[in-house]
Amino acid sequence: MLAPVVHILPLTTLRRERLLPVAGRVTARVDQKVAPLDVVAEAHFGQDHLLIDVARTLGIGSAAAQGLIQLKAGETVAKGQIIAQRIGLLPHILRAPSNGRVILIGSGRILMETGEETFELRAGLPGKVTRLIPDRGVEITFNGALIQGVWGNGQMGLGMLLSVVSAPEELLSINHVDVSLRGSILLAGHCNDSAALQAAGDLPVRGMILGSLSPALLPLANQLNYPLVVVDGFGLKPMDSTAYKLLTTNAKREVTLNAEPFDQQTGLRPEILIPLPVTQEPPLPREVVSFAPDQLVRLTRAPHAGAVGTLACLLPGLTSLPSGLRVAAAEVKLDSGEQIVIPLANLEVLG
C-alpha cells in the first residue's frame, strides 16, 4: 500500500524552483551562494487599478470619448497629467488622479495600474543557485538536514537554534522566555500558553519550532512577528523523538524556518532547514514509497499520536481495532519497546 512520507533527514539534497508571480528580472547568477532572505529575482507591478470612464465624465458617447483620450496603452502617467480634454464653448479637461501606467484603453475608458511596487523574490532556502529560469526565477540546491512540519504561520526567518526545554514533551511557558534568547530560534515541545508566544515576539526571537500547539492559539500564532513551525500536530503531544533528536543535535547551528502553510494538494509544507557541509552530494528525499517492514514510522492519531517506531510487520487481511473498525494494519515497535497494532491509515513513513 502506498505510504505518505514526511521528511526528517539528517543529510539530504533539495532542489527547489523559486518563481516570480509574473515575468520579471532574475538578479541571481548560477553558482551564487544564497541565504534564505536574499533576493534572487524581482518584478514590478501595480497593486491596484483605476478604471476611468472618460465618456461618462465628459458626458459624451464612448466612440467620441475614445477620440479625445490622449494616452496610449503602456504609457506612464503622472498625477494631474491631462488624459482627455473636450474643446468647445464648455471645455472640460480630465486629469490623471494618480501616478500610474495605462494598461488598456477601449470604449471610452482607461484602465490604469497604480501603486506600482517592486516584488522581491527571496531565495527561501540556503544553498546555491543551480539553474536560472529566464524572466521567472531560479533553481536552488540545498544540502543539509531537513525537518518537515505540519503547520506554519507563513513567515520565514533564520537564526541560531536554541532548545528551551530538556524533553520533547516539555511545555513552553513564559518562564522559559528570557532576554538571552533574543534573536534566536526557539525549540520546545508543546505550547498552550499565549503569553509565552507573545513574550517571544516581544524579545524578539527569530522563530520558534514546536512539537505541538493548542489550536486555540492559532489566531495568535498567525499574527506573530516571527515564523512558527509546528512539527507534529495539534493538542497536547510531545515532539516526535526523531525530529527532537535531530533538532537538539543541531542546537546552536544556524537554521532556516520556512513556515509555509501546509498545502496537501501541492505538497508545500513548513520546513526547517539546517545547512551542513558535504563532500559528496547526499541523495534527494524519496517521495513515493509503499509500506514495508523496518521502515521508521510516525503515528498520527490517538492513542499514540506523535510516537515513532519501526514497522515490524504488515498484518494480513483486516484487523479489528478497539474502536470496532476493521482495517488494514501493521505491528509497530515503538521506541519504548512496546509493540502495538496500528491502522496503516494512521502511519506516515519518516524518510
**Contact residues: other proteins, CB under 8 A:** 1-2, 4-5, 21-22, 47-51, 103-104, 111, 150-151, 214-216, 218, 233-236, 262, 264-268, 287-288, 300-303, 305, 321-327, 342-343, 345-346, 348
List the grid coordinates of 233: 500536530
| Closest distance of CB 5 from other proteins, Å | 7
Nearer to other proteins, 1 or 278 (CB): 1
Any residues with CB less than 8 A from the CB of 111 and at least 6 apart, and which?
49, 50, 51, 52, 102, 103, 104, 105
| Closest distance of CB 342 from other proteins, Å | 7
Cα diameter, the chain: 96
Beta strand 184-191 with 156-163 is: parallel
Nearer to other proteins, 264 or 280 (CB): 264
| Closest distance of CB 349 from other proteins, Å | 12
Nearer to other proteins, 183 or 215 (CB): 215
| Closest distance of CB 215 from other proteins, Å | 4
| Closest distance of CB 179 from other proteins, Å | 32
| Closest distance of CB 171 from other proteins, Å | 14
Nearer to other proteins, 176 or 298 (CB): 298
Nearer to other proteins, 31 or 287 (CB): 287
| Closest distance of CB 275 from other proteins, Å | 24
Nearer to other proteins, 4 or 204 (CB): 4
Nearer to other proteins, 222 or 249 (CB): 222
| Closest distance of CB 109 from other proteins, Å | 8
Nearer to other proteins, 60 or 230 (CB): 230
